């Protein structure tokens, strides 16, 4: 099969002919129809976050496709099923998994596309319980937003307990996860504001999604909608810039929650105990999503409640260039790789 692999961290993607993978016990073989491309995979391939355990490695963790073969112990009726990848490698049996908190698995074994080969290929292998059913009728390219770009915001919205009428600001709103976070927050009932440095992205967000924005790296109190009284109830930060985090914390209304989403920066939030107590504030971390939340994300997209925002669709020859656009912050929304493209 054809696959795009890295042979060194930070090195280029090389399109190569490699042996077809075969499913082992408890695994399924998926013919990849499309794979999402976002900053997370760029960080994986350049030694950020949970860099590949072994090289060479096929990246790509957000793929959709059709099961074409199964290993021992997997129901053969699954052959022909269209699926999406849950990309955390979890045991499914520890107390966290049994509580529906798969992303906190006590036997976490890494991620698809990093610890094991992923979806930048014509075929990919998944543990059977990581291959989640894809709702009927969903386009594969749109479906690539489900495993991360939509599921992660669903988990954030639940972690932050966004309630109807609450004022929600999203910093880094034009990126692949941020642009879907805006929609999920609105779906949970929030009044939403986009914050991003890129005015063109904000123009798209206001024109196509009907969500107002502020062109800035940090939230300016004076730029907030007048009825908001200069504060927000929930702020979700995808940028991790120190100035942005500082201004976000200062602008939280009593009872407000700041959700930090960057795992690859050294930015810190200075939270004074007295403020936390008397303003009843919370600084929250949020890590990926459970398998149940991925299923919820799929239902939201399939039901037309959300719109998948794909800024670029490429084949094998365009992957390296697409990674470059992501590094430079040029891509609106999510990218998508289509092996047949």
Encode the chain (341 residues) as per-residue pLDDT tens digits: 999 999 988 889 999 999 999 999 999 999 999 999 998 888 888 865 556 678 899 999 999 999 999 999 999 999 999 999 999 999 999 999 999 999 999 999 999 999 999 999 999 999 999 999 999 999 999 999 999 999 999 999 999 999 999 999 999 999 999 999 999 999 999 999 999 999 999 999 999 999 999 998 778 788 888 888 889 999 999 987 777 788 888 899 999 999 998 876 666 777 778 888 988 999 999 999 999 999 999 999 999 999 999 999 999 999 999 999 999 989 999 999 999 97
Which CATH class, in words, describes the domain spanning 2-148+289-337? alpha beta
Q: Is 178 helix (H, G, I), strand (E, B) or coil?
A: helix
Res 264: pLDDT: 63
Using alpha carbons only, what angle is made at residue 43 by residues 42 and 47, rounded to the nearest 5 degrees?
120
Question: φ, ψ for residue 155 (rounded to 5)?
Answer: -65, -40
Q: What is the pTM of this model?
A: 0.94
Res 50: pLDDT: 53
Q: How many residues does this entry show for the chain?
A: 341
Res 49: pLDDT: 56
Res 119: pLDDT: 97
CA 68 distance to own-chain centroid: 26
Res 266: pLDDT: 67
Cα separation, 237 vs 20, in Å, equals 40
Res 122: pLDDT: 98
Res 201: pLDDT: 96
Q: CA torsion, points 221, 225, 227, 231, in degrees to nearest 10? A: -30
User: How far, CA to CA in Å, does 46 sit from each of 50, 182, 249, 296, 324?
Assistant: 10, 28, 31, 31, 12
Tokens 């398998």, residue located: 291
Res 244: pLDDT: 78
Which residues of the chain does CATH 3.40.50.720 include? Answer: 161-285
Tokens 């013919």, residue located: 31
Question: φ, ψ for residue 168 (rounded to 5)?
Answer: -120, 125
Q: Please answer whether residues 37 and 29 qualify as being in contact, where contact means their C-beta atoms are separated by less than 8 angstroms.
A: no
Res 293: pLDDT: 97
Which residues of the chain does CATH 3.90.180.10 include? Answer: 2-148+289-337
Specify the CATH architecture of the domain 161-285.
3-Layer(aba) Sandwich (3.40)
């Amino acid at each position: 099969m054809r696959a795009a692999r890295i042979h060194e961290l930070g090195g280029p993607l090389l399109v190569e002919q490699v042996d077809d993978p075969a499913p082992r016990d408890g695994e399924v073989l998926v013919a990849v129809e499309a794979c999402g491309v976002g900053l997370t995979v760029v960080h994986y391939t350049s030694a950020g976050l949970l860099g590949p355990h072994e090289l060479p490695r096929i990246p790509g963790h957000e793929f959709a496709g059709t099961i074409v073969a199964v290993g021992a112990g997997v129901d053969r009726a699954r052959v022909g099923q269209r699926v999406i990848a849950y990309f955390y490698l979890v045991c499914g049996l520890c107390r966290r998994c049994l509580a529906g908190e798969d992303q906190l698995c006590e036997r976490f074994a890494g991620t698809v596309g990093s610890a094991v080969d992923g979806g930048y290929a014509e075929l990919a292998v998944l543990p059977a319980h990581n291959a989640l059913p894809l709702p009927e009728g969903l386009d594969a390219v749109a479906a690539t937003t489900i495993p991360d770009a939509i599921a992660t915001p669903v988990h954030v919205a639940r972690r932050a307990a966004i309630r109807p009428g609450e004022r929600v600001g999203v910093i880094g709103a034009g990126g692949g996860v941020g642009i879907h976070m805006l929609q999920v927050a609105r779906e949970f009932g929030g009044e939403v504001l986009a914050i991003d440095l890129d005015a063109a992205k904000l123009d798209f967000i206001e024109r196509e999604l009907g969500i107002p924005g502020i062109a800035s790296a940090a939230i300016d109190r004076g730029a907030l909608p007048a009825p908001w009284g200069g504060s927000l109830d929930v702020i979700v930060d995808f940028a991790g810039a120190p100035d942005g985090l500082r201004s976000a914390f200062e602008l939280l209304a009593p009872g407000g929650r700041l959700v930090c989403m960057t795992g690859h920066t050294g930015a810190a939030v200075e939270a004074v105990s007295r403020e936390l107590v008397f303003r009843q504030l919370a600084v929250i971390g949020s890590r990926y999503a459970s398998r149940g939340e991925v299923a919820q994300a799929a239902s939201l997209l399939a039901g037309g409640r959300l719109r998948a925002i794909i800024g670029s669709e490429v084949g094998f020859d365009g992957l390296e260039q697409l990674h470059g656009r992501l590094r430079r912050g040029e891509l609106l929304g999510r990218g998508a790789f289509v092996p047949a493209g």
